[in-house]
A and B are shown apart, each in its own frame.
Chain A
Amino acid sequence: MKNTPLTAAALRAALARIEQRQPAAPEGMAERFMERMAQEQAVKGRHVVPARSRRRTLRHFFAFTAAAAAVVAVAVVLWPSQERKIAIPTSPNTTLAEATRQPEAPAALHDSPAAPDTRTIAPTPRIAAKPKEQLAKARSAGSAAAETAADVVIQAAANVPEVVIAVAAATPPAAPTVPAVQTAEAAPPVQALPSQPRATTFTAAEVHLDRLAEASRHSHAYLMLSEELAVQRLGAMELLPRCTAVFNRQEQNNLKPISI
């Protein structure tokens, strides 16, 4: 058969006829396939689950683990500062002594503000165990809480024993050697003698003043207002220099309060 035209239409027609000759898919092929797939599953000991599902499950597991690890890491970094915040009472009438004293200690020290209490402020072990290095560590870790100046002031205010030590260092050497910083377990608050120089202790009035400033978010203006209130309440004008010393000590530590 010579000169047969080989057109696309002819090819299409021929191919169509070839395809029509092909037998159709046999009946029951789907059932046989499902049976075979079930056998494959039984042989492999697992369901035929696409690999993407398995990878997705693994991906979810690793993501969840990473997220949990990140949360734990952040909690570890933030916990010291948060713990410090929790330890600080929010009521302006609550003194630091109340926040840190032992359960058997007497009621609020500021009940008789006219008679300043010379009780030695014994820091709790928790506060004593919080050196400034931890504050620096928290700040370097990018803690949002420590980033704010208010939190920084809170941290500094919690370091009252350091201030007491600083004040004590400036006192004459004739002062009795009553330890200003001691743990609550080691010794309960010691009632100082009337003749004991006040430089070696931190009076309830001073603590109260400090707590006023602390509870009022430690801004400079609030601190000054708190000083005035405290002075009026306590009737002790000589406390002002001490309060100023406390505040200056904070400023020396580059812990600037927020100005409002």
Chain B
Amino acid sequence: MTQTETALQVQAALRGEQLAFRRLFEAHSGAVFATAMRFTGNAETAEELTQDTFLRAFNALDTYDDSRAQFATWLQRIAYNTCVSHLRRQPPPSHISLDDSPLSEGEMPDSISDEPAFSADESRTEQLMRALESLPPEERHLLTLFYFEQRTLNEIGYIMRLSNAALSSRLNRIRKKLYLKLTT
């Protein structure tokens, strides 16, 4: 759905058209669900958080300002807040620390070592993936937005309510953290 189509659907939703709500959900639920999965790791909970996100968004559709951000970015901001609120209500998850499972080739978990053989580069990628998965969801989400989705600092700052300086500082800290996990 292009931005123009999204804007038209938003206008229709503001008029209360149910079909517009459905179309907006179908167009943007994938990204919101992925965000929720990033935070929860559970499809059922992610779907619930996705629905919560859209309900909050549609109830606050009048506050959406297209001059500040795109509709998808605005939805990501609501999804981020919903997921963070959900995590704060949950008991702290038990993250697997790289310190607890040294990432040496000889001590690879069975689940990993049972996978098809990786090349040298792929092995490093696997190590990096494991290091990434050991990060807290908020930090991994920030890296995903910046490196994978290649969003600008302004967009990420809008989603996470952080300044560009705070984002740069946080990214540097996460990179150092990852480097330490990979080099120790």
Interface residues of A (CB under 8 A from B): 1-6, 8, 10-19, 22-26, 29-30, 32-34, 36-37, 40, 47-53, 55
Contact = CB atoms under 8 A, between A and B. Distances in A.
B14 A50 contact: yes
A16 B18 CA distance: 35
Contact of A36 (B26, B38, B51, B179): B51
B43 interface: yes
A4 B182 contact: yes
A22 B151 CA distance: 20
B133 to A, nearest CB: 7
A29 B29 contact: yes
B175 interface: yes
Interface of B: 13-16, 18, 21-22, 25-26, 29-30, 33-34, 37-38, 43, 47, 50-51, 54-55, 58-62, 103-105, 123-125, 127-129, 132-133, 140, 143-144, 147-148, 175, 178-179, 182-183
Contacts of A34: 18, 21-22, 25
Contacts of A10: 124-125, 128
Contacts of A40: 55
A241 B104 CA distance: 126
Contacts of B175: 6
B182 A17 contact: no
21 contacts: A1-B103, A4-B124, A5-B124, A6-B175, A10-B125, A12-B148, A14-B132, A17-B125, A19-B34, A19-B144, A22-B34, A25-B33, A25-B47, A29-B47, A30-B26, A33-B25, A34-B25, A50-B61, A51-B59, A52-B61, A55-B62
Contacts of A2: 183
Contact of B58 (A6, A13, A14, A37): A37
Given A15-B144, A19-B148, A33 B128 contact: no
Contacts of B21: 34, 37, 48
Given A1-B103, A24-B30, A48 B128 contact: no
Nearest to A35: B51
B148 A36 contact: no
Contacts of B123: 1
Identify whether the interface residues of A are mostly helix, strand, loop, or mixed. Answer: helix
Contacts of A1: 103-105, 123-124, 127, 182
Contacts of A12: 147-148
A1 B125 CA distance: 11
B interface, by DSSP: helix, strand, loop or mixed? helix
Nearest to A17: B129
B59 A16 contact: no
A15 B147 CA distance: 8
Contact of A4 (B15, B60, B127): B127
Given A33-B54, A53-B16, A11 B29 contact: no
Contacts of A33: 25, 29, 50-51, 54
Given A4-B128, A37-B58, 18 more contacts: A1-B123, A1-B127, A1-B182, A2-B183, A4-B124, A6-B178, A14-B128, A15-B147, A19-B144, A22-B38, A23-B43, A29-B47, A33-B50, A33-B54, A34-B18, A48-B55, A50-B14, A50-B61
A141 to B, nearest CB: 40
A135 B123 CA distance: 97
Contacts of A48: 16, 21, 55, 58-59
The 6 nearest A-B residue pairs measured at CB: A52-B62, A15-B148, A14-B128, A4-B182, A50-B61, A25-B33
Contact of A23 (B14, B22, B37, B129): B37
Nearest to A3: B183
Contacts of B47: 25-26, 29, 32
Contacts of B144: 15, 18-19
B21 to A, nearest CB: 7
Contacts of A37: 21, 55, 58
A18 B38 CA distance: 9
